[in-house]
Amino acid sequence: MWSPAALCCRTVPGAGPLLLQGLHTFNRVFGREYRDLCKQPAHRLRDEGSGRTAGMRPCLLASGKAKYRQRAPTYPVLDGRILPVYRHVFEDNLRNSEAVVKRHSELLELVRKGGGDQAVWRHTQRNKKLFVRERLKLLLDHESFLELSPLAGLSMPYGDVPAAGCITGIGKICGLWCVFTANDATVKGGTIYPIGVKKQLRAQEIAMQNRLVSVYLVDSGGAFLPLQAELFPDKSHGGRVFYNEAVMSAMRIPQVAVVCGSCVAGGAYIPTMAEEAVIIDKIGTLFLAGPPLVKAATGEYVSPEDLGGARLHSQVSGCCDHFASSEKEAYECVRNIVSTLNYEPLPEEAIEHDSPLYSSDELLGLAPQDYRCTLPVKLILSRLLDGSRFQEFKANYGTTLVTGFGHVEGRLVGIVANNGELSHDASLKGCHFVQLCSRSSIPILFFQNTAPQAAEPPSISQAEAHASRLKAQASMMAAVACAAVPKITIVVGGCFGSESYVMCGRSFSPDFLFLWPNARVGLVDSRHLSTVPQAGDSDQRGEEAELKQLKEKLEEESSAFYSSARLWDDGIILPQNTRKVIAQCLKITEQQKYQVVSRCQHPVIRM
């Protein structure tokens, strides 16, 4: 904006008295109108403008239409060649990547079978219901969707719970990106385990962060009672799902539920708190206590259909708004409901962009099996960015952190990538760059490969340098935490210690966080712990045994598969698919610009 004060200071050489008098009059009027404009409430300015801007980021208020900057043709091209000096490290990494990718494929194949062949047969043949992945095919548009945390629930202390008993993800319905949560009744009969609650809460968190329509396919037997202490009482337990439904409704985030099976106890609240609910005849039931409990309490037998079937809830109780005679009809109904939502059409034209100059398959050899096998991070960037072009920021300062701008499928992004230990200078550079991205509303991609931290304390001579680095890292932490832009974190190597926080780890709530299958997640890297005691010292031999046991525990708990099973991330992605996943996430975070937000600030109250 032009400043009135600056205009008042300008003079015109050779101007006569009449011209100067006219300029002073203009400046007084301009300055008064400018000050009056600044005094108006923000909501009044917004309402007098486009009328479609509530809840959007400040730099996006100018227009609701799709406007994308063209890729700057002058961005320098990265040199992504694998030099001969790197070849042996590349080949070692490649062998490790092939092993972990094979393990990843085996686990995915296991998870896609749900509760096993017998459970799927019973679900589909005896109970006459569709398998959960067949339901998603009817619900979603015919294009790929982003599945979240598919390996959640494996090797838990209470046993395997494939996919945590529910499938969550983001897909398109009638052209709109929607979050879906679909119970898989073939896994433990749809019973909810602690990890299943955590997965549902994460799906809701993503919906709230990105203002995405939420669809629930409910087929749940309620909570697993032997683990009720881990399911019921705390803030982040089962009740939080219902709390979030109310808050999301108040945020004007539409929610639709389908009762496509048994909804018992806590599972019954999900459809009744959604803004619209569909129930399927003969297979959909809704009650707090089923027929067996009625029989035990009163001695009376009542059928599931009479106690809480589709006709009862659509004609008598009003708990459900739409009656569907079949599953196919139910998902068509949901698609019709989504089509009534007040969203502007999303831009359909594809943004022109160049492909990277180097093959994404080579990322398998750039995924470090160990921090000591890390190659320059620009080799990774050259295989992800459009045209392998990268406008670097402060290229010669704090070189252990690479920062700059590039494009992914035509969308401008800021890049923050580890390229060594996060030093004092690197942290200050990162702090500066993150603030620049936040000011300009540019999404930030973090490529995390943090240096393992030694378990031993630093020497006195190192204390001052460590303190200085700590202060700089704290500054970058604050900048990352407060940056009001979409943040996507990809762990390409190690995720260790406090540096993982600085690089937007899980605690700093990135919009999405994914791991490569070679990634390691832990407070310290077990492979960098000291293990050699003094010979002949029995106490130290005992310490060595304890240290060995600790190392084995850390080694197991730091693997990407252990992390993903516990929902410390949003899933493991293959290195060669990284560019596609990032592009999907960027499109998803953009959609909220096209939502028409009303002024109403209370949830939809049913009945």
CA 201 to chain centre: 12
State the residue for tokens 């929610």.
255
State the residue for tokens 């060669």.
576
Question: In the numeric block, which tokens belong to residue 23?
Answer: 């300029």
Average pLDDT, the chain: 85
pLDDT at residue 220, as a whole number: 87
Cα distances (angstroms) measured from residue 75 to each of 70, 393, 405, 410, 477 = 12, 12, 9, 13, 28
Query: 53-67, 315-329, 511-525 — which is least confidently predicted?
Result: 53-67
User: 255-264 and 213-220 as β-strands: parallel, antiparallel, unpaired?
Assistant: parallel
Query: 151-160, 174-183, 389-398, 519-528 — which is least confidently predicted?
Result: 519-528
Q: Above pLDDT 90, what percent of the chain?
A: 60
Of 258, 268, 280, 182, nearest to 221 (Cα)? 268
CA atoms within 13 A on the CB side of 549: 6
In whole angstroms, give the CA distance from residue 251 to residue 61. Answer: 18
* Average pLDDT of the segment spanning 443-459: 79
Q: Collect all residues with Cβ–Cβ distance below 8 Å to 594 and sequence separation of at least 6.
A: 64, 343, 344, 345, 346
pLDDT at residue 214, as a whole number: 97
Model confidence over 191-239: pLDDT tens digits? 899 999 999 999 999 999 999 999 999 998 888 889 989 888 888 898 9
pTM: predicted TM-score of the whole model, two decimal places: 0.84
State the sign of the Cα–Cα–Cα–Cα dihedral 48, 49, 50, 52. negative
Q: Phi first, then psi: give them for residue 205, nearest 5 degrees.
A: -60, -45
Q: Collect all residues with Cβ–Cβ distance below 8 Å to 445 and sequence separation of at least 6.
A: 408, 413, 414, 415, 416, 488, 489, 490, 582
Cα distances (angstroms) measured from residue 529 to each of 122, 215, 362 = 50, 47, 31
Q: Collect all residues with Cβ–Cβ distance below 8 Å to 547 and sequence separation of at least 6.
A: 529, 530, 531
Model confidence over 13-71: pLDDT tens digits? 444 444 445 445 444 544 554 455 445 544 443 344 433 333 333 333 333 444 444 54
Sheet containing 391-393: order of strands: 391-393, 401-408, 411-418, 444-448, 487-491, 512-515
Higher pLDDT, residue 444 or 61: 444
Query: 13-27, 61-75, 78-92, 110-124 — which is least confidently predicted?
Result: 13-27
Question: In the numeric block, which tokens belong to residue 602?
Answer: 């209370």
Model confidence over 237-256: pLDDT tens digits? 989 999 999 999 999 899 99
Question: In the numeric block, which tokens belong to residue 206?
Answer: 């993503």
* Average pLDDT of the segment spanning 113-129: 93
Beta bridge partners of 169: 147, 180
Question: In the numeric block, which tokens belong to residue 452?
Answer: 């393992």
Listing DSSP states for 121-175 in one string gives HIIIIIS----HHHHHHHHS-SS--EEE-TTTTTTBTTB--GGGGEEEEEEEETT
Per-residue pLDDT for 86 more than 60?
yes
Model confidence over 536-570: pLDDT tens digits? 556 667 778 888 888 888 888 999 999 999 999 99
Model confidence over 355-368: pLDDT tens digits? 999 999 999 999 99
Whether 376 and 417 have beta carbons less than 8 Å apart is answered as no
pLDDT at residue 10, as a whole number: 39
> CA dihedral defined by 515, 518, 522, 524, rounded to 10 degrees?
-140
Whether 177 and 188 have beta carbons less than 8 Å apart is answered as no
Cα distances (angstroms) measured from residue 121 to each of 129, 328, 475 = 10, 19, 56
Could you say which DSSP state residue 192 is in?
B
Whether 274 and 256 have beta carbons less than 8 Å apart is answered as yes
pLDDT at residue 532, as a whole number: 46
State the residue for tokens 């500054």.
475
In whole angstroms, give the CA distance from residue 490 to residue 449. Answer: 9
Higher pLDDT, residue 1 or 106: 106
In whole angstroms, give the CA distance from residue 325 to residue 310. Answer: 9
Q: Collect all residues with Cβ–Cβ distance below 8 Å to 497 and sequence separation of at least 6.
A: 450, 452, 453, 523, 524
3-state SS of 250-312 is HCCCCEEEEEEEEEEHHHHHHHHHCCEEEEECCCCEEECCCHHHHHHHHCCCCCHHHHHCHHH
Model confidence over 264-284: pLDDT tens digits? 887 888 999 999 999 999 999
* Average pLDDT of the segment spanning 446-470: 77
pLDDT at residue 585, as a whole number: 97
In whole angstroms, give the CA distance from residue 197 to residue 85. Answer: 49
299: number of Cβ within 10 Å: 7
State the sign of the Cα–Cα–Cα–Cα dihedral 294, 295, 299, 304. positive
Question: In the numeric block, which tokens belong to residue 268?
Answer: 């019954």
Query: 308-317, 457-466, 478-487 — which is least confidently predicted?
Result: 457-466
CA 256 to chain centre: 21
- How big is the chain by its Cα radius of gyration, in Å? 28
pLDDT at residue 100, as a whole number: 97
State the residue for tokens 């992605």.
573
**How does residue 351 score in pLDDT terms, banded at 50, 70 and 90?**
confident
Higher pLDDT, residue 350 or 299: 299
Beta bridge partners of 171: 178
CA-angle at 249, arms to 218 and 326, nearest 5°: 30
Packing angle of the helix pair 460-482, 424-439 (nearest 10 deg): 10
pLDDT at residue 62, as a whole number: 35
Whether 142 and 176 have beta carbons less than 8 Å apart is answered as no
pLDDT at residue 458, as a whole number: 62
pLDDT at residue 576, as a whole number: 97
SS3 content of the chain, % helix, strand, coil (to 5): 45, 15, 40
Amino acid at 300: E
Size of the chain in residues: 607
